[in-house]
Amino acid sequence: MSCYIRKENYEIVEIDQEWVILNTDAYTVTTINELGKYCWTLLNTPQSSISLYQAIINKYETSINALESDIESFLLELASCNLIEHAN
């Protein structure tokens, strides 16, 4: 199972209830919602898609049908923007 951790070279700001992550190395801009921001904060330590899923279920006390695939898509998007990397 792959684990990911966020990279160091970014800036993050809140604008109109969305979070904007600026990758200062790759010059990319990524917007995320509040749930994405929660996942982003968890990625300061190595996380798998399953650990993120469990953390969301525990925090929001809900079960979301498409959550697993949404987390995978979220991680792929962050990776494509060079914001996370495989944790060793």
Domains of the chain: 4-86 (3.90.930)
**pLDDT, tens digit, 9 for 90 and up, residues 24-41:** 888 889 999 988 999 999
- Locate the DSSP E strands across 1-88: 4-6, 10-15, 18-23, 28-32, 84-86
Whether the model clears a pTM of 0.95, i.e. scores above it, the answer is: no
State the Cα–Cα distance between residues 50 and 1, nearest whole angstrom: 9
DSSP string of 24-47, one letter each residue: TTTTEEEEE-HHHHHHHHHTTS-B
| Residue 56 · residue 39 · CB < 8 Å | yes
- What is the pLDDT at residue 63? 67
